[in-house]
A and B are shown apart, each in its own frame.
Chain A
């Protein structure tokens, strides 16, 4: 193994890399560095099962020989390792085909506190997390006589620092932190076992959010409510993807909106700008400026100032999401939606993926048809392909008849295509779930989905 001589800070490491890149003869380069810390624990049967403290850092460089990019990264921030990283990137640039990219110039960023970092959170100790976890576990295990076990109980907090810099003199830094706690309970009745999971997260250890009684009750409800579930008869049903799962469904199909996928023949949305791709009730926004949201940022992963994008408006596709490479290829300005971590090449990503709320209540959505299947749990995503749009997935939930819940449902599968689903949307509810997430989608009523049971 390499013996460390001296470890540099991320900013010193950037300076070292850039200096070495210049000496190689590179005239354009950028670097992304990240550092993160976390602490957390898991509890089981009133005891700490495991405790984890972590601390990691790394840096990646992209440099150009002419128009050929080369990339390399390291988690060792020593001069030797950094020098090797530049050597690697330089040798890779000789192998790669040419790519046209304009690295961004430094630009003034909006004077906006996105509330991504809460200093008060840094003083939350493992002791406090443990005390909270013990309370939560005790409440969850006694929440119902049918609770068999509480196999998952964890609480943690973490913070991260990242920076992006480039040869145009751009240097942006950002910091974020968050705290989370979750519980998974197994309810048992006869031979049937069902799991209910509930977790909370946020930027503050706020007792209103981290309410152990409410969290335990919700997890228990989610486990016991499906104990008597049975399949429904196979056929086409109106389906409501409840806001517990709608974000999961929609976030699997982010990449068709990325210009890179369109340009490489891997999106069915090719040539659809200005066309109706969804029901008029559906809009989609990439919003980087929502206060306290995990997907908020002032600049993207390549240093381009972020901006709010209407991606779909009233069912009509408005734009794709571009990073530096796909924008240059298309001859348009980048949309501030580049993504990049220190160990990966640049990609594309939504900031916060927001489907604006509808006007109807959940109750109104399920009363629209004589029979509606409401999905509250999805099993796996392997049968879903962002490229083809196929959705074939196991599901659990409830059958509603004329707006009234009449049966718990499991052992069924759903089969549809995401692009058909978008056009078949009949309504969106006026409520998001309470998850700390960069993806927000309300309950979605879809006209018809094939159900096998």
Chain B
């Protein structure tokens, strides 16, 4: 789309009486190679392309998206959106304030340096790495029955322009490696995986220790295959660092997005300034961490991201916001508006969210538990923001007895409510680590980083046998 076309489309939206009009154009190139069953299972690439048009009437959001780019079609979509809210066909605006500002290009800060554009490297260079990971995992044990490895990258070229005069382009490059190892024996099967990712180009794969990740996944699959079931009940739980941070992401992070707060669909609505967590807890959502998987150059409304402190020493400071959410809840803009693609209107979403490092050693945290569970690695989880009810699967768990890590246990699930868990995080260690994940919510699946140091939750319900 060129600026003249964009100007006409934005003006058409204003002419319908919209307070704000925005165009998001995206072309994303996906490329991946998968290796499974000792074979190159697939090599594929594809291009997503489309345009999203958002009209705001106050805080009412009208959104249309399409993979067609002809101007007439886009103008028809604007007409359809306007008619949908009861506007008569034709022009309704045209007061002196309804002429849109001239589009002015702004330079985004290129925060995350990409040195090897994956589009220029080609897919064949991924093969050797995938084979190496496969061999490493299979060598680990005869119990390994299947290994799947995958290397994928995406490069998105986007354009954001709006009726405030913004004209901004951005390129988002991400690369991710995945290894999933299945171990079998005695009629049972267990699978474990590792999925590191980064906002980098092909240089991410070149610098990646795939053997380490393959070995870790293989070791976990074999160990957990032999593990007995976790015993259920309420108990103290030590959460491992890194991906353990998914618990904060689900149990609390989602409840701090204005998209939930503005619908009163968050139990943390109206709690700013209140002590919602143990004083040991400081939680941050940082969109700026260099080359981190969940970092951004600009958010999907074209705003620069921030490092946002959500909870400081247990006190709720602010929410993660987008344009509409900030307006409705009265918080400032945090540069957190995100969307999976042109198919979604942007809403406030997490970026790199973590609980800040504390003052204890991980060993001291474990030693503090007489009888409990060490959830070394969590699988996934989910939350109902309206009730705060969450659940997590423990992919790698151990029993703690007498302050010592004992036998491996599997089949453990953690359930509870976010507002109840936060005050029970009583010890936070100094070993903060981040891990890549994909978060699904109303604006689709976006790359996020979760993270935390090893920490202790005094009591949580563990599902088991």
Contact = CB atoms under 8 A, between A and B. Distances in A.
A binds B: yes
Interface of A: 1-2, 4, 7, 39, 41, 44, 47-58, 60, 69-76, 81, 84-85, 88, 91-93, 95-97, 126-127, 130, 148-149, 151-152, 184, 186, 193-195, 231, 234, 263-268, 343, 345, 379-385, 387-390, 392-394, 411-415, 450-453
- State the main secondary structure of chain A at its contact with B: strand
B56 to A, nearest CB: 10
A194 B417 CA distance: 12
B310 interface: no
- State the main secondary structure of chain B at its contact with A: strand
B389 A379 contact: yes
Contact of A54 (B62, B64, B124, B182): B64
Interface residues of B, number: 86
Contact of B463 (A39, A96, A383): A383
B444 interface: no
A2 B27 contact: yes
B232 A415 contact: yes
Contacts of A47: 60
Nearest to B269: A149
A92 B267 CA distance: 49
Contact of B263 (A1, A151, A265): A151
A193 B415 contact: no
B279 interface: no
Contacts of A345: 42, 44
B265 A149 contact: yes
B19 to A, nearest CB: 15
Interface in B99-126: 122-124
Given A265-B189, A383-B394, A413-B415, 10 more contacts: A52-B345, A56-B67, A58-B67, A72-B46, A74-B49, A151-B386, A195-B387, A268-B187, A385-B191, A413-B463
Contacts, number: 269
Nearest to B462: A452
Given A151-B386, A345-B42, A382-B392, A56 B65 contact: yes
A392 B47 contact: no
A211 B386 CA distance: 25
Nearest to A186: B386
Q: Which 9 A-B pairs have the closest CB atoms?
A: A413-B463, A452-B232, A151-B265, A383-B393, A382-B380, A73-B46, A92-B43, A380-B391, A265-B145
B464 A383 contact: no
B461 A74 contact: no
Contacts of A70: 43-44
Contact of A97 (B40, B384, B390): B40
B369 to A, nearest CB: 18
A60 B265 CA distance: 39
B264 interface: yes
8 contacts: A4-B69, A55-B66, A95-B33, A383-B413, A411-B415, A411-B416, A411-B461, A450-B232
Interface stretch (B76-84, B89-97, B201-209): B76-84
A384 B465 CA distance: 15
Nearest to A346: B42
Contact of B464 (A2, A55, A452): A452
Contacts of B384: 195, 379
A218 B407 CA distance: 46
B165 interface: no
Contact of A379 (B61, B68, B382): B382
A149 B27 contact: no
Interface of B: 1, 25, 27, 33, 36-37, 39-50, 60-70, 77, 80-81, 83-86, 122-124, 127, 145-146, 157, 159, 182, 184, 187-191, 229, 232-233, 260, 263-265, 267, 343, 345, 379-382, 384, 386-394, 410-413, 415-416, 461-465
A96 B189 CA distance: 28
Contacts of B68: 7, 55, 57
A49 B60 contact: yes
B463 A392 contact: yes
A72 B45 contact: yes
Contacts of B123: 91-92, 95
A49 B464 contact: no
Contact of A96 (B43, B86, B184, B389): B43
Contacts of A55: 64-68, 77
B465 A450 contact: yes
B295 to A, nearest CB: 23
Contacts of B1: 1
Interface centre among A93, A393, A394, by most B CB within 10 Å?
A: A394
A412 B37 CA distance: 39
A381 B381 CA distance: 8
A412 B49 CA distance: 45
